[in-house]
Structure 1
Amino acid sequence: MLSDWLWNRETGDVCGETVLFTESESAVLAFPAEEVTAVYNPTLGAVYAEGRDFRLEQGGRVLRRLPGSTMPFLTRERLYPSPERAVLFPDEGANAIGSASGSPTGLVCFDRADFFARHQVSIDYRTRAPFPAIPAADPAKLPKTRKCLCEKKLLDIAFIGDSITDGWNSTEKVGVAPGQAPWPGLVTERLSRRTSCRMVNGAVSGSGSAFGVEHLEACCREFPPALLFIAYGMNDLSHLSEEGFGRNISRIVDAGLAKNPDMEFVLVSQMSGNPEWDLTPAGKDTVFARKLRQIAEDGGARLAYAPVNELWHALIAGKRFLDVTGNGVNHPNDYGHRIYAAAAASVWD
């Protein structure tokens, strides 16, 4: 079921993995490639040729940008803007953001819109390496949702979360080609193949789990969902403990059951952020994911856990955050949104 998002286990084809070239002129693939079938930038409408723009090296694991290539790349000065040349967030035209103690200038590259989409390169290739194992859906979880899908009855679903769930920086959200929907749209489309769905997205950019009950209330003004996707964490990393995060999630679940005693829930773990940015401390995302998994395990049949965090780390191991980011610090690109969607869909597929 993941072949149209990430890969095809039968053929070994990898679909649209992204990389970003810097002055090192090399980029690491998630798997060693036996054959590269396409290298392109869908936002620019550009296609790149092996031998002219790139070559495959190091047993198929590294893509080398060749001299004279038209493939985009970022200079060190662009990755780490100087304070003199930086336009800082929250300015509308921001190209940098502070609080980056891992940066030589204290700043890192940042963009609200399509900058990374225009500078990353997408790769289709074939590999013989095994793909990461995604846990099989537990047939005991989400029984009411499964029954609805089986009987093809209307399924009311809602998504609450932060800016990632609001859709940033998918190309649909920022309004450029190829116009890929963010992960809630991809998940809704997948569910709609099985039955009719009504969907409301109550995610609010810049918010954290403390606002989840409020976001649920807003969704319920449309309709009380039968299936609620809860996806917070990124904006909680710098200030919430594992216990505090868990309490907020549990409050959302309790509020949902008060609205609809038959409501079921998918607890969506998260990607990691830029390790050079202080507000996304390395490893904290995995701590939060562990707490979500525990809540889902302890919560019985009505709670399922979506392993975004595990799949994210499996696929970016050896790669750089810049290969898969949409804004430079804490948003995924299209490829990252497909990782989210694949993990979320795995709870019933």
Structure 2
Amino acid sequence: MRESITNGFVVTSVGALSTLRTFTLLTGSLLAAAASAAEDDFATAVLTPFWRSQPMTESMFFIQSSADSRPRSALLFKPSRLLKVVSATRETTFTEGIDYRLDPKSGVLELPPGSRIPYKTFDQLHPLMSSDEPKISLQAGDPLRGLFFDNQDGYHRLQVEVTYECQPGQWQGPTPRYAGDILPRLLKKLGEGDSVKIFLSGDSISEGYNASRFTGARPGCPAYGELFALAVEKHFGSKVEFQNFAVGGWQSSQGLKQVIDDRVGEQHPDLMIVAFGMNDVFRRDPAAFKQNIKGILNAVRQDSPATEFILISTMLGNAEWGMPMEQFALYRQALSELCEPGIVLADITAIWEELLKRKSFYDLTGNGVNHPNDFGHRIYAQALMAMLIESNAE
């Protein structure tokens, strides 16, 4: 067992594979002394969801689709005024007219010759399997080509962060509904400022891949579970004990076994977030997935009947990798069928479907195939937080 204190968190790691990180978020003066200004900014950014944000901040990844075109990337919303463009690490500020040009009508940024902003050509994004480029083989498609893949900060260092003003009301996609009537025990405790326990069970996305804090890159944005816990504490003033049981590569069946073997319910969490699906979809068996998730709920409730749950339908994977894209909606439906008083769905799948109508998958990914970047983790946390703040839900 290893224990350390970092930015106000008590971090406990147990075991090599099934790493358990326990984060005890401290309140009051101790939190103020321990938390960095950047961490406070990350929590603040979660309190207002992207569909209400003014100004808006999002990530971009530039792609040159052909030799006779310039590298381009599209903003989610049409901007009224561009405020700044910085590297995703926030170490470099780029200059309009020199590093990028904005078409205000289309909301597309284009890189002129000599731009300092990195980009990828089509061939670089789809390297030959015989090359030395970092890549992963395709699940389906051309066996000679792979997909640019980096499970550390490779994508992060190629992305930029854009902040701009825009007219409100441009988001036409789904937004979470306030869950006060579905999670009454949790909201009552938070409303009274009582301390709460929030647990997270999931796969690599929930473990933290590829948030910049997880990969050790700047600016050190926490993964969505930590972001959510920080935002809950900041908004409600409650002490939050956050435990993350997620393990990379796991499917729901392994999550079920863990919850049973470790008797997670005996710790009596107030809220249990369950977030599987990205790995499960390859099995093409939503019925089995539903039974596994139901088993997790029942196992926790057996020892802790008062625990309430948020089920997360996963972000979409990269269609170019050859993922079974038709399965994501089926797995979301399986989760929705489990919802009842005390169990609510955070439909990240639906949000991603809408995002990809405007944004490239590569604008949102941290590894190129199935993990979110900092912006993606922030979207996850914002969706969760919107379910607890009535004014942020629709």
Give the TM-score of the pair, scaled to structure 1: 0.90
- Partner residue, 2:252: 209
1:116 matched to which residue of 2?
155
Matched residue, 1:134:
175
Residue 89 of structure 2 aligns with which residue?
43
Report which stretch shifted further, 214-223 or 177-186.
214-223
Q: What's the secondary structure of 1:234's corresponding residue?
A: coil
The corresponding residue for 1:82 is: 128
Q: Which amino acid aligns with 2:343?
A: L
Whether 2:370 is the aligned partner of 1:330: answer yes
Q: Write the letter of the residue equivalent to 1:45.
A: E
For structure 1, which segment, 283-292 or 300-309, has the greater mean C-alpha deviation from structure 2 after superposition?
283-292
Q: CA deviation at 1:18?
A: 1.1
> Which amino acid in structure 1 is aligned with residue 125 of structure 2?
L
The aligned counterpart of 1:262 is: 306
Alignment of structure 1 residues 148-163 onto 2, 5 Å: 148-163=189-204
Q: Give the deviation of 1:22 after TM superposition.
A: 1.8
Distance 1:104 1:52, change over 3 A: farther
Give the number of aligned pairs: 336
2: CA distance, partners of 1:207 / 1:176: 24
Alignment-derived partner of residue 106 in structure 1: 145
Separation in 2, partners of 1:234, 1:133: 20
Counterpart secondary structure, 2:93: strand
| CA spacing shift, 1:8–1:304, aligned 2, 3 Å | closer
**Partner SS for 2:241:** strand
Alignment of 1:285-324 (within 5 A): 285-296=328-339, 300-324=340-364
The RMSD of aligned alpha carbons is 2.1
Moved more, 117-126 or 102-111: 102-111
Alpha carbons 2:226, 2:242 under 8 Å: kept = no
Q: Deviations over 1:52-103 (max 9, x none)?
A: 111112614211111110001113332111122146xxxxxxx111134345
2:317 is matched with which residue? 273
1:125 paired residue number? 164
Q: Secondary structure at the match of 2:187?
A: helix
Aligned partners of 2:46 and 2:385 also within 8 Å:
no
Q: How far apart are residue 44 of structure 1 and its match?
A: 6.2
Native 8 Å contact 2:46 2:381 kept in 1? no
Q: Percent identity?
A: 31
What residue is the counterpart of 2:232 in the other structure? Answer: 191
Name the structure 2 match of 1:282. 325
Code of the residue aligned with 2:256 in structure 1: it is V
Q: Is the 8 A contact 1:160 1:215 kept in 2?
A: no
* Contact kept? 1:57, 1:63, Cα under 8 Å: yes
Q: Secondary structure at the match of 1:138?
A: coil
- Is the 1:229–1:267 contact (alpha carbons within 8 Å) kept by the matching residues of 2? yes
Gaps of 5+ in 1: 88-94
2:112 is the counterpart of 1:66: yes
State the 1:311 CA deviation.
1.9
Query: Bigger shift: 238-247 or 113-122?
Result: 238-247
Between 44-53 and 166-175, the greater mean CA deviation after superposition: 44-53
Gaps of 5+ in 2: 1-43, 66-70, 390-394
Q: Any idea what the Cα deviations from partners look like across 1:276-303, whole Å, max 9, x if unmatched? A: 112x22232222122212211xxx2210
More off after superposition, 148-157 vs 126-135: 126-135
- Check the 8 A contact 2:265/2:299 in 1, yes or no: no
Contact 1:230 1:265 in 2 (8 A): yes
Pairs within 5 Å for 1:204-243: 204-217=247-260, 218=262, 220=264, 223-243=267-287
Contact 1:308 1:344 in 2 (8 A): no
Secondary structure in 2 aligned to 1:276? helix
1:322–1:42 Cα change, 3 Å: closer
Indicate conservation of the 8 Å contact 1:304/1:347, yes or no: no
Does structure 2 conserve the Cα–Cα contact (< 8 Å) formed by 1:32 and 1:60? yes
Shift of residue 216 of structure 1?
A: 2.4
